[in-house]
């Protein structure tokens, strides 16, 4: 009501109408939801035309200050007429679209939804809000287009804009009129589609008729129109003079309150929190994340009075228990050795992953076992290639620092044990609680009928939860690009530049193998010779294709096949080193990633073209020469996108690591050349 900027008035009125829509949705009534959707469409129509009219006024006069604007109708008659119609729609004048949705709002406001003071006062508040809407609509029209001629304008001779600058407003105003006069024929089918998409089977019967007789909503509309007109006539002159409203409004101005809160939070509270909790180290941040997750899982169980039932063991297989005992020892060894020997810690961590893989196999989850094994191989090799660039560990000699470090490690151990026990209880409850209507039964019954595959896990990933998988591969691509960007900007520690890594390995090999033959190098004693690694390349490619093609019916799929092919590239790099990377850097992994995202997305869009929801799959049997009937599913294309993106992401990280070695080798070569010249 007290805005002097033309677009400021419209922007704050937008907030008012969004509040109206939110109030409708909060009523919990299907008819209120219909009204909210309808008013959202109507508001977009008349408010867009008003904003464009404000733009024309600003363009022709050079200002949006309503204290300097008046009498523009004699200069902009067409624009003024269009703005009047749009403002009338915003005010809820009959025979315009805004009247229909506001009358639906009034109708829902008088309905009794719950016995509370909010529901009892809602009709009066709704009428008052409608009156304010009429008042600021009148102020917009009367202040800008009527009254004396404007003086001292930045552009002293305003005139109508060009035809095409005014055409969007004309189109939208015509829409306001058509929807207001014949709503059932104009907006009815579109509104029904939108309502059904939101409410589904709960869609109620509703009427878009203009006249429903003399009823309470009509009386509320008339009162809002009369009250808003009286309010503006009484306070119009004051509104044109005031800057920010009465003194009490200036003290309660939303922008001022927001800025004070922002200063208090960002300057005082944030600095206190930064001093107490802020750190650039990763480990304390992870500690807070894990601890918060533990409390978030424990608190609801505690408030619900969760009680653990008696454990009824049916027997423990000694072999399985032995495997887990080995895994526990390896996990403890990983944490302990991380301080002293990163390579040994990484090897033990890989052992933990292998035990988990065997556990999946033991519990009849071959898909998880294959994925776990492949992920373990890829991540272990990539981390291993990155270990050489980490700074050396420094020994803790100060007794106080040692005590602090011991306390930190004990605290981390206690947190890990607590979270592990919590996950154990959750897993035990899930696996032992009988669920008659478990969702697993739905997947088992419909995996082949609706997805065309016998491998339920793969059908879930590429069909039932395909949108989930699309989001996950998107995150994977973003992570790969981020790792690549960070490694490209990374500068290794000084000790990594002092001596080539291969030379250090060779020197240590010479010390440990004094009985070696003359001329032997460390590569001659590798467990897997490099020539065998190169020969394995076509074999692994064939195996990756096999894993990919069988995934819809047997353990495998695009993700597993992508990891398998990534291992082939990793082996080539391990065998050829930086020379292979320099020769084969034309793999262009980013294009693989882009192709994977495009194929996966287009597979989902293809369902739209056939009238089905996004990522709806289709399958049928195809007759191939010499092979016979082969099951073909559109999900196979989606899986192909997953395959390409996984390969591209893994190779992109490998390329980033290889670039580090290539760059450092070139720097060493340049330094050697300078030394020779000097």
Amino acid 405: pLDDT: 74
Give me the pLDDT at residue 403, please: 74
Q: Any long-range contacts for 257-263 (C-beta under 8 Å, 24+ apart)? A: none
Contact 465, 439 (CB under 8 A): no
Averaged pLDDT, groups of 10, the chain, 678 residues long: 89 93 91 95 96 95 91 93 96 94 92 78 93 94 91 88 93 96 94 93 91 91 95 82 61 76 80 75 84 88 69 76 92 82 88 92 90 92 81 54 75 89 82 78 87 87 90 94 84 54 52 52 54 81 90 88 91 72 67 93 88 83 69 84 93 81 66 76
Q: How far is CA 589 from CA 238, 649, 654, 656, in A?
A: 67, 7, 10, 11
Here the contacts of 345-351 (C-beta below 8 Å, separation 24 or greater) are 346/380, 346/383, 346/384, 346/387, 349/380, 350/376, 350/380, 351/326, 351/327
User: Rounded distance, CA 601 to CA 467, Å?
Assistant: 10
Please tell me the predicted confidence (pLDDT) of residue 398. Answer: 46
Gap between the Cα atoms of 540 and 545, Å rounded: 9
Residue 118 has a pLDDT of 83
CA nearest 86: which of 46, 56, 57? 46
Q: Which residues pair with 624 in a beta bridge?
A: 628
Separation CA 89–CA 104 (nearest Å): 14
Q: Which distant-in-sequence residues (6+ apart) come within 8 Å of 460 by Cβ?
A: 443, 447
Write down the pLDDT at residue 229: 94
CA distance 20 to 103: 12
Q: Which pLDDT score is estimated for 303?
A: 80
Domain boundaries, the chain: 6-245, 453-678
331: Cβ–Cβ under 8 A, 6 or more apart, which residues?
348, 352
């Amino acid at each position: 009501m007290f805005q002097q900027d033309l677009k400021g008035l419209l922007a704050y009125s937008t907030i008012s109408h969004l509040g109206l829509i939110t109030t409708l949705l909060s009523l919990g009534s299907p008819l209120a939801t219909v009204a909210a959707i309808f008013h959202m469409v109507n508001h977009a129509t008349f408010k867009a035309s008003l904003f464009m009219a404000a733009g024309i006024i600003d363009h022709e006069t050079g200002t949006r200050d309503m204290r300097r604007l008046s009498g523009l109708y004699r200069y902009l008659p067409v624009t003024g007429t269009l703005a009047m119609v749009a403002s009338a729609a915003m005010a809820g004048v009959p025979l315009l679209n805004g009247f229909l949705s506001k009358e639906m709002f009034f109708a829902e406001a008088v309905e009794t939804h719950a016995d509370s003071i909010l529901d009892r006062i809602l009709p009066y508040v709704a009428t008052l809000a409608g009156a304010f809407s009429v008042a600021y609509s009148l102020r917009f029209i009367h202040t800008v287009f009527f009254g004396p001629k404007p003086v001292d304008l930045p552009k002293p001779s305003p005139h109508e804009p060009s035809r095409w600058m005014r055409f969007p407003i004309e189109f939208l105003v015509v829409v306001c009129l058509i929807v207001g006069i014949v709503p059932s024929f104009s907006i009815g089918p579109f509104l029904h589609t939108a309502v059904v998409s939101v409410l589904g089977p709960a869609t109620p019967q509703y009427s878009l008729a203009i006249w429903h007789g003399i009823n309470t909503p009509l009386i509320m509309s008339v009162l809002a129109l009369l009250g808003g007109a009286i309010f503006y006539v009484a306070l119009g002159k004051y509104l044109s003079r005031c800057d920010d409203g009465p003194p009490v409004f200036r003290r309660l101005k939303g922008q001022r309150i927001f800025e004070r809160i922002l200063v208090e939070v960002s300057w005082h509270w944030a600095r206190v929190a930064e001093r107490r909790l802020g750190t650039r180290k990763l480990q304390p941040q992870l500690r807070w994340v894990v601890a918060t997750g533990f409390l978030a899982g424990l608190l609801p169980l505690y408030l619900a009075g969760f009680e653990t039932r008696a454990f009824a063991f049916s027997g423990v297989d000694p072999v399985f228990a032995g495997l887990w005992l080995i895994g526990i020892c390896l996990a403890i060894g990983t944490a302990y050795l991380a301080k002293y020997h990163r390579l040994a810690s990484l090897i033990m961590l890989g052992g933990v992953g292998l035990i988990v893989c065997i556990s999946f196999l033991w519990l009849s989850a071959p898909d998880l076992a294959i994925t776990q094994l492949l992920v373990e191989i890829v991540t272990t090799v990539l981390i291993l290639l990155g270990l050489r660039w980490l700074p050396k560990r420094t020994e803790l000699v100060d007794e106080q620092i040692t005590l602090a470090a011991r306390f930190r490690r004990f605290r981390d151990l206690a947190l890990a044990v607590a979270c592990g026990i919590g996950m154990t209880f959750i897993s035990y409850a899930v696996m032992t609680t009988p669920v008659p209507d478990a969702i697993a039964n739905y997947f088992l019954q419909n995996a082949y009928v609706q997805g065309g595959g016998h491998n339920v896990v793969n059908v879930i990933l590429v069909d039932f939860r395909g949108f989930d998988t699309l989001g996950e591969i998107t995150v994977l691509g973003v992570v790969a690009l981020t790792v690549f960007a960070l490694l490209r900007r990374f500068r290794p520690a000084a000790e990594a530049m002092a001596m080539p890594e291969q030379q250090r390995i060779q020197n240590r090999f010479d010390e440990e193998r004094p009985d070696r033959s003359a001329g032997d190098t460390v590569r001659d004693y590798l467990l897997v010779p490099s020539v065998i690694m190169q020969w394995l390349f076509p074999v692994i490619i064939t195996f990756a294709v096999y894993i990919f093609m069988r995934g819809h019916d047997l353990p495998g799929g695009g993700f597993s096949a992508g990891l398998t092919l990534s291992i082939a590239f990793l082996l080539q790099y391990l065998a050829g080193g930086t020379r292979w990377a320099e020769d084969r850097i034309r793999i262009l992994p980013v294009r693989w990633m882009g192709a994977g995202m495009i194929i996966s997305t287009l597979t989902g869009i293809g369902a739209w073209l056939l009238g089905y929801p996004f990522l709806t799959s289709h399958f049928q049997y195809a007759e191939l020469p010499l092979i016979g009937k082969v099951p073909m599913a559109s999900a196979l294309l989606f899986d192909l996108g997953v395959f390409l993106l996984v390969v591209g992401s893994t190779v992109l990280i490998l390329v980033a690591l290889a670039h580090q070695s290539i760059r450092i080798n070139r720097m060493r070569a340049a330094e050697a050349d300078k030394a020779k010249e000097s």
